[in-house]
Amino acid sequence: MTSHILSLILFTPLAGAFLLLLVDKKNENAIRWIANIVALIGFAVSIPLWFWYNPQSSVFQFVERAPWIPSIGAEYFLGVDGFSMLLILLTTMMGFIAVLSSWTAITERVKEYYIFLLLLQTGMLGAFMSLDFLLFFLFWEVMLVPMYFLIGIWGSDNRLYSAIKFFLYTLVGSVVMLLGILALYFAYHADPANGGIYTFDITRFHRYAFAPGLQWWVFLAFFLGFAIKVPMFPFHTWLPDAHTDAPTAGSVILAAVLLKMGTYGFLRFSLPILPEASRQFVPMIVVLSIIGIVYGALVALAQKDWKRLVAYSSVSHMGLVMLGMFALNPVGITGSIIQQLNHGISTGALFLIVGIVYERRHTREISEYGGLSKVMPVYAAIFLIMTMSSIGLPTLNGFIGELMILQGVFVANKIWAAFAASGIVLGAAYMLNLYQKTMFGKIENPKNERLLDLSHREFATFAPLLVLAVWMGLYPAPFLRRLETSVDHVIARVSPQYATKNLADCGTLLPAASAGAAPTAPLPDVVAQNPAAKFLASVPCDANGKPLSTSSGQAPASSGTGTDIPPPADKKPGDPQ
């Protein structure tokens, strides 16, 4: 069973879509039931991945491999590591939530709607599973079409403009990305050391060192494709439109999963396949990410449309994700992945939250609401928790990701970290503003006086997200453990000096950690006996984080003890500047 679990996960939604084709379109409730059950099964069959995944193994797991187009070397090649495994679980869960949230929201063309939603699901899952670059590209494009229709048919006012904008934006990126893929494909073939084979095998690309010049161009090509998806400033303007006009489930999927395609692409392809170019482009990515963080937050502050506000907050959050990733050290990258999951959970939930009142009131204008706490107390409580998750309150998930990213970035460069941390303040400002304007105050609009609180079905869409938010905030260890080898894999490629020094200097720590993860020797005991051991052991590693900043050409690394930092230059009064 384990050998085909990925295919099972991948094709369950597709099978459901075919099943729906057979149902009479007038029988809407049957369609709804089938779609919900299929989505639930889709989630259920993916859960074993969490348990069967072996966190110690550094190779791709659950691999399935079969020829696809032998003449060009393309294969049906699936496999996951910790990173994609978590994203797959996020996808199946959010897929189910999206389907469940649509029960009463969608009343027209119900059959087509669910078919598109399920097709989209297969496209996203395929992209996360593919280890063949062409197969990945196929799924990447497959996602586009259903999303286009979801926005264009079931969206709100300006849906056609938004749908086309979404489609063209992404298409431009992916066409250029395809050129990059082909460049790698031919370059790999051209090197006689590779035996003259044609292949799209990503695992081979991960082990091969492409020429720096080629890397530079391909990085740019990939950058366009992925940066649009993330979206990074200044390629983000499709997002507010798409989010605003998409139906609730579309926004949820878009925020929770589709945006992760971009960050997934950077982490799966750009960093390990193009390590040298990745290092070269750090300054550009960092600058764009920091602009994204501050800019997204500031623009969110000015929004009058509830959904648009959440959309711009996504730009800010995803900027942080990108920044953490391009800190190019283990903590930063791990934090980046955790924050991707967090963003999926909290922003997904925030879109569900807007959807609830949109369905009741058919407006997204913030000023139309106010005082909802009084009539919808359960809703208000969930909104509050998700707001806090989004702004990184400790004990909820957002904090873990933010902290790790800031820590990783701080080691790389303190100034970047200071900029990134400004999101802490601005994030609180726009979210609390939103919360105050919608939830607090007196109910002044008579239309809001009789709004119903959450139904059981609606509550069920939030329940898993609430559980995850608290779980990841209080006890993220199971997630972090499953990410270790994925992160090490990327680090070994892109920051080898870190990986090797890590192994040399922290050798004492690593075996302990891996032994601790073995069945019955719990790691906490090791730490419990000597809490200081782990802290002290990490000192040399941390000092080793410093040389990293030289690669970015920003802060001069202090050779020598490595514990002193350069004093802040701007503090000297007698400075000529």
Partner 1 sequence: MLLLIPLLPLVGFLLNASFGRRVSKPAAGAIACGAMIASFLVSLVSVFRLIALPADARAIAQQVFTWISSGDLAVAFTLRLDPLSAVMILVVTGIGSLIHIYSTAYMHEERDAEYARYFSYLNLFAAFMLVLVLGSNFLVLFVGWEGVGLCSYLLIGFWYEKKSASDAGKKAFIVNRIGDFGFILGVLLAFVHFGTLDFQEIARSSAALGPEAAFGTMSLITLLLFVGATGKSAQIPLYVWLPDAMEGPTPVSALIHAATMVTAGVYMIGRNAVLFSHAPQTLTIIAVVGVATALLAGTIGLVQNDIKRVLAYSTVSQLGYMFLAMGVGAYAAGIFHLYTHAFFKALLFLGSGAVIHALAGEQDLRRMGGLKKDLPITYWTFLIGALAISGVPLLSGFFSKDEILYRTYASGHTLLWIVGLLTSLLTAIYMFRIVFLAFHGHRAEPFADAQDRHARPPQSGSHEAAHAAHLHDAPPAMAIALVVLAVGSVAAGYVGLPQALGGSNRFEKFLEPSFTAADVRSTPDVPDDGAATEGLELGLMAVSTLVAVGGIGLAFFFFLANPRASDRVASQFPGLHRVLMHKYYVDEIYDAAIVQPIRIVSEDGLWKGLDVRVIDGAVNDVAGTVGGASALLRRLQTGSVRAYAASLFLGVVLILGYYLWR
Q: What residues from 491 to 510 belong to the interface with partner 1 (CB under 8 A)? A: 502
> Hey, what's the torsion of the CAs at 53, 57, 58, 59, to 10 degrees?
-70
Task: Determine the size of the site formed for partner 1 (CB under 8 A).
Answer: 81
Q: Considering only residues 123, 330, 348, 355, which one is a binding residue for partner 1 as defined by CB under 8 A?
A: 330
Q: How far is the CB of 489 from partner 1 (least distance, A)?
A: 14
Is residue 14 close enough to count as binding partner 1 by CB under 8 A?
Answer: no
Stretch that binds partner 1, among 78-86, 112-120, 130-138, 562-570 (CB under 8 A): 562-570
Q: How far is the CB of 501 from partner 1 (least distance, A)?
A: 12
Cβ proximity to partner 1, 75 vs 484, nearer residue: 484
Site for partner 1 in 15-44 (CB under 8 A): none
Q: Which long-range contacts (CB under 8 A, 24 or more apart) does 43-49 make?
A: 43/92, 43/93, 43/95, 43/96, 45/5, 45/8, 45/9, 45/12, 45/92, 46/9, 46/88, 46/89, 46/92, 47/89, 48/2, 48/5, 49/5, 49/9, 49/80, 49/85, 49/88, 49/89
Cβ proximity to partner 1, 142 vs 415, nearer residue: 415
Site for partner 1 in 499-558 (CB under 8 A): 502, 513, 523-524, 527-528, 531-532, 534-536, 538-539, 541-543, 545
Q: How far is the CB of 306 from partner 1 (least distance, A)?
A: 15
* Cβ proximity of 123 and 139 under 8 Å: yes
H helix intervals, 155-258: 159-190, 202-207, 212-229, 238-245, 248-253
Is residue 189 close enough to count as binding partner 1 by CB under 8 A?
Answer: no
Stretch that binds partner 1, among 73-81, 83-91, 108-116, 563-571 (CB under 8 A): 563-571
Reported residue count of the chain is: 577
Single-letter amino acid code for the residue at 189? H
Site for partner 1 in 294-313 (CB under 8 A): 295, 298-299, 301-303
Stretch that binds partner 1, among 118-126, 163-171, 243-251, 316-324 (CB under 8 A): 163-171
As a whole number of Å, the CA-based R_g of the chain is 24
Listed residue (483, 486, 326) closest to 409, CA to CA: 326
Is residue 394 close enough to count as binding partner 1 by CB under 8 A?
Answer: yes
Q: Considering only residues 400, 451, 454, 469, which one is a binding residue for partner 1 as defined by CB under 8 A?
A: 400
* Cβ proximity of 433 and 574 under 8 Å: no
Stretch that binds partner 1, among 24-32, 142-150, 164-172, 257-265 (CB under 8 A): 164-172
Q: Considering only residues 288, 404, 454, 465, which one is a binding residue for partner 1 as defined by CB under 8 A?
A: 404
Is residue 574 close enough to count as binding partner 1 by CB under 8 A?
Answer: no
The DSSP output letter for 132 is B
208 alpha carbon, distance to own chain's centre: 26
Whether omega before 212 lies within 30 degrees of 0, making that bond cis, reads no
Stretch that binds partner 1, among 39-47, 87-95, 182-190, 470-478 (CB under 8 A): 470-478
Cβ proximity to partner 1, 43 vs 462, nearer residue: 462
Q: How far is the CB of 418 from partner 1 (least distance, A)?
A: 6
Cβ proximity to partner 1, 120 vs 391, nearer residue: 391
Whole-angstrom Cα distance, residue 490 to residue 243?
Answer: 32
Sign of the dihedral defined by the CA atoms of residues 211, 213, 218, 223, in that order: positive
Q: Considering only residues 58, 194, 203, 433, which one is a binding residue for partner 1 as defined by CB under 8 A?
A: 433
Listed residue (393, 379, 397) closest to 343, CA to CA: 397
Whole-angstrom Cα distance, residue 533 to residue 526?
Answer: 9
549 alpha carbon, distance to own chain's centre: 25
Cβ proximity to partner 1, 92 vs 390, nearer residue: 390
Cβ proximity to partner 1, 21 vs 452, nearer residue: 452
Site for partner 1 in 346-375 (CB under 8 A): 371, 373-374
Q: Considering only residues 49, 331, 356, 466, which one is a binding residue for partner 1 as defined by CB under 8 A?
A: 331
Is residue 377 close enough to count as binding partner 1 by CB under 8 A?
Answer: yes
Q: Considering only residues 171, 214, 287, 403, which one is a binding residue for partner 1 as defined by CB under 8 A?
A: 403
Cβ proximity to partner 1, 175 vs 425, nearer residue: 425
Listed residue (150, 167, 164, 171) closest to 246, CA to CA: 150
Question: How many Cβ atoms are within 10 Å of 26's Cβ, its own excluded?
Answer: 9
Cβ proximity to partner 1, 59 vs 302, nearer residue: 302
Non-local (6+) Cβ contacts of 276 within 8 A are 212, 215
Cβ proximity to partner 1, 251 vs 495, nearer residue: 495
